[in-house]
Structure 1
C-alpha cells in the first residue's frame, strides 16, 4: 500500500482498556493506524475510543441505556453486534479503513463474527479470541477468509503471554493489508466448484478451454469454507458465470455434517441472477471427520477414507432422492440463466466400478428422481457420461459457448488485450 493501513479495532473498552490500548500501540508499531470502536455496555473505559459505544447502539436503533436495561447480556451484545456490523459496513464502503481486528472471549467473538461476515471477502479480518476455532463456533459463522489467533492467557489483564498474542494479531492484520495485491486483469472470472482433484477432475479439462476463450477460472474446494467463499462471491456478483459442479456440501448440510458451507449453498448465484451451469458432483456421499465415528444414520454403508482428517460415507437411496429434490428446489429460486447437467454415468471418481463407493442402484435412484422433479424453468440436459469424462466437459462448454453467443455471459478477453491492460 502507498499509505499506512488503517485498522478498525473492535473491543469492549469498558472491560479491556489495557488490552485494546496495547493492541492500538502494536498496530502503530507495525506501521498502521488504529480506529477503536467500543462495543462495551457497562460504561466508560480507560480512554476515549474513536467510535463510542453510544454511537454503536444508535446504529442499531436504540440508546445505550436501552441496551443496558435489557437485563440480558446476550440480548445486549446482539444489539451491539448489529450496530457494529452496520457501521463497519458503511465505513468500509467509504474507504475509512482497510482491515478488521477484533478481540474478545465468547461474547466478543460472537459479536466479531457478525462484523467480519458483514465485510466483503478480501478485506483482511483477524479475530483474537479465547475460543479460536473452537467447536463452539459453527462453521456457517466463520468467514471464509478469517484469520483467528488464540488469545492465550488473556482473560484478565496483560501478561507476557497475552502481549505476545496481541502483538502477533496486530502484525497479522497490518501485514495482510500491506500484502493485498491490486490486479489489472480484465478477463471475466468464471467460478467453479470441485471436491479436490481426485474425486472430481473436470477442471483439468475446462481450465485450459476457458482460458483459451479469454476467461480466468477460480476453482473452490467444497469442504465447507470453500463453498462459503464461492457463495459469498457469487452473491456479490463477482463472477461472470459459474460452473457449480460439486454439491457435496449441500448433502453435508442436509445430513447435519460438520463439513458445511451453511444452509444457503446453491442459492447465491441463482438469487443474484448469475448465469449458472450446475451438476450434482459428489452428491452420493456425506463427509465426516475421519478421527470420529461414522454418523450412526449411515452405519454399515461403504466408506472412503480420504486422509486422517476427512472421510466420506455413501448415502442411502432415500437420501439420494431427497438430495435430488433439494437441488431442484434451490434452482427454482434462480433469476438468471440456469442449466442442470446430469451425468448419468456417475458423479465422482470413487463411484466408478471397482471403487469403494460404487452404487449403481443408488445412482439410478438419484437419476430417476432428478429427472422427475427438475423444474421446467431449469434447462435440463442429461449427459450419457461420468462427470469426470471428456464428454461431460464438452457438454458444459457447449452450454457456456451458447450463452456467450446469446449475450448472456460477457465475452472473454483475448490474451493480447489482457496483456495490454495489465501493462
Structure 2
C-alpha cells in the first residue's frame, strides 16, 4: 500500500510552493503541539494472538522506562490474552473490510493485506490526533510485510522501529522501506521468549522511546530544495550550491543517489516536500536499465507528477554502480571499472548505452507538470571523466549529448554549458536559472 500522505501534501493538485504555506500554519500532524512536553506514547503493533508474550514484554520495557503504550492487534484468527487498545476488528474496518471477510478469503496473504491497510490508516490517524509519538512493530515475514505498510504511512520524523526475523534481508523490497525506518534483527525470536530475543526486544523498546524523546521532526518552515549527488571526490556542486541556496532563504537536503537515497528522494518529491529539485545525479536511471543499484522504475518521475520545478543535470550518467564485494555482474564484465571502496564499484557504459540513458531521461521528463531545465555540461559529468581522467570517453560523452539534443521533449529547456559539471561555470548557471525562477514565481519562497 502506498497512499497519498495528507500530513505532507493535503492538496495533491496544489502548486509546488503551496505546501510551505500549509506547513507554516501548523497543519498536518501533532508535531510541535503542547503534548510534546509530556511523556511519549508508543504504538506497539503485532499479532497479539500468537506473540502476546513478546509484545507484552516490549510494552513492559517501554513502561519501565517511563513511556506509555498504545497497543494494536493485527491478528486475524485468534485473540490476545487481554483486550488491546485497538482491536483487530477496528483494524479490519479501517481497511473497509472485516475480520470475517479476511477469514473467508481463505488466503493468509489477502488477510494480512487487509490488516496492513487498516493498521496504516489507523496509525496515521493516531499520530495526527497526537495520541502516539512513535511506533514499533514486531513480526516474522507476515508481520514485517504489514510493518512496511504501517510505517510507510507515517511521515518523516516519526520514530518507526521494526523488530523482524528478516531484518536487512533481500526479501524486503527497497521501494517499500520508509526513508527513516529503523530495523533490528529479532534474533532467536521466531517462537517464544528467551534471553537472546529479549536482548533484541529490549534494545528496540528503548530505542523507539528514546527516539521519540530526542527527535527533531521536520518543521518545513523554510522551503526545501531536494538535491541528488555523490561524494565530493566525484561531484562537487553541492559544496557551492548549498550555502548559496541557504543564503537565499531555502533549506537543502542532499540525497546520496545509490539506490535507497534515490528512493527516499522520489518518495518525498511525490509527497510534495520540495519547492524545487536539483536532480544532478540521476545515475540510478542507468543503474535500473543495466542492472545496477536501482532506485526503481519511477526514478525521476515523482517531482514532475507533483508539479515541482526541476533542474536536471547528468552527473555520473555514464556509470553503473554495483555491489563491489559481490564481483562484477555478468552483463558488465569486460568494461573499465572504478572501485570506489570495498562496497561500491562503478562500470563504464558504452556509447550506445549512454544514448539509451539519454532516451530514458527524456521519456521521464516529458510528462512533467512544471518547468524543467536540463543543464548539459559538454566537458564532462563526473570528476573521473575529465579530459585525461581515468574514465574519460570523449566519444561516449558526445553520443550522450547528441541524444539529449535530438530527443529532448518540448517541455524541457536544454542549456548546453561548455564546462565540466564540477566547474564554477556550472554552479553559476544553476544559480542564475534558480534566481530567475524565484523572481518569476516558478519557485515559491
TM-score, normalised on structure 2? 0.88
Q: Is 1:189–1:218's contact at 8 Å kept on the other side of the alignment?
A: yes
Q: Is 1:17–1:47's contact at 8 Å kept on the other side of the alignment?
A: no
SS class of match (2:311): strand
**Mapping for residues 120-269 of structure 1, pairs under 5 Å:** 120-181=155-216, 186-257=221-292, 259-269=293-303
SS class of match (2:354): helix
Cα separation, 1, equivalents of 2:388 and 2:144:
47
Shift of 1:385: 1.2
Cα separation, 1, equivalents of 2:428 and 2:359:
26
Residues 1:279 and 2:313 aligned together: yes
Residues 1:405 and 2:439 aligned together: yes
Question: Would the alpha carbon gap of residues 314 and 370 (structure 1) be closer, same or farther in structure 2, given more than 3 Å must change?
Answer: same
Q: Is 1:283–1:347's contact at 8 Å kept on the other side of the alignment?
A: yes
**Out of 381, 392, 397, which is 1:347 matched to?**
381
Aligned to 2:414: 380
**Mapping for residues 320-359 of structure 1, pairs under 5 Å:** 320-359=354-393
SS class of match (1:249): helix
SS class of match (2:198): helix
Cα separation, 2, equivalents of 1:298 and 1:357:
15
SS class of match (1:148): strand
SS class of match (2:415): strand
Cα separation, 2, equivalents of 1:117 and 1:39:
16
SS class of match (1:27): helix
Residues 49-95 of structure 1: CA deviation (Å, up to 9, x unaligned)? 11111111122222211211222222221221121112222322332
Q: Which moved more, 1:43-52 or 1:125-134?
A: 43-52
Equivalent pairs counted in the alignment come to 410
Shift of 1:186: 4.3
Q: Is 1:26–1:171's contact at 8 Å kept on the other side of the alignment?
A: yes
Cα separation, 2, equivalents of 1:146 and 1:162:
20
Question: Would the alpha carbon gap of residues 62 and 325 (structure 1) be closer, same or farther in structure 2, given more than 3 Å must change?
Answer: same
Cα separation, 2, equivalents of 1:35 and 1:169:
16
Unaligned runs of 5+ in 1: 412-423
Cα separation, 1, equivalents of 2:352 and 2:65:
56
Aligned to 1:302: 336
SS class of match (2:325): coil
Cα separation, 2, equivalents of 1:183 and 1:71:
43
Cα separation, 1, equivalents of 2:371 and 2:128:
30
**Mapping for residues 40-119 of structure 1, pairs under 5 Å:** 40-119=75-154
SS class of match (1:192): strand
Q: Which moved more, 1:387-396 or 1:247-256?
A: 247-256
Question: Would the alpha carbon gap of residues 141 and 356 (structure 1) be closer, same or farther in structure 2, given more than 3 Å must change?
Answer: farther
CA RMSD of aligned residues (A): 1.6
Cα separation, 1, equivalents of 2:285 and 2:64:
45
Unaligned runs of 5+ in 2: 1-35
Residues 278-299 of structure 1: CA deviation (Å, up to 9, x unaligned)? 1111111111111012121121
Q: Is 1:121–1:232's contact at 8 Å kept on the other side of the alignment?
A: no
SS class of match (1:4): coil
Cα separation, 2, equivalents of 1:256 and 1:83:
35
Cα separation, 1, equivalents of 2:344 and 2:324:
5
Q: Detail structure 1 runs of 4+ shifted over 4 Å in the superposition.
A: 182-186
Q: Is 2:279–2:310's contact at 8 Å kept on the other side of the alignment?
A: yes
Cα separation, 2, equivalents of 1:265 and 1:294:
24
Residues 1:360 and 2:401 aligned together: no
TM-score, normalised on structure 1? 0.93
Q: Which moved more, 1:177-186 or 1:194-203?
A: 177-186
Cα separation, 2, equivalents of 1:248 and 1:305:
16
SS class of match (1:42): coil
Shift of 1:309: 0.6
Residues 102-140 of structure 1: CA deviation (Å, up to 9, x unaligned)? 010111111101111221122111000011101221222
SS class of match (1:102): strand
Residues 138-172 of structure 1: CA deviation (Å, up to 9, x unaligned)? 22222221111010111111111111111110111
SS class of match (2:314): strand
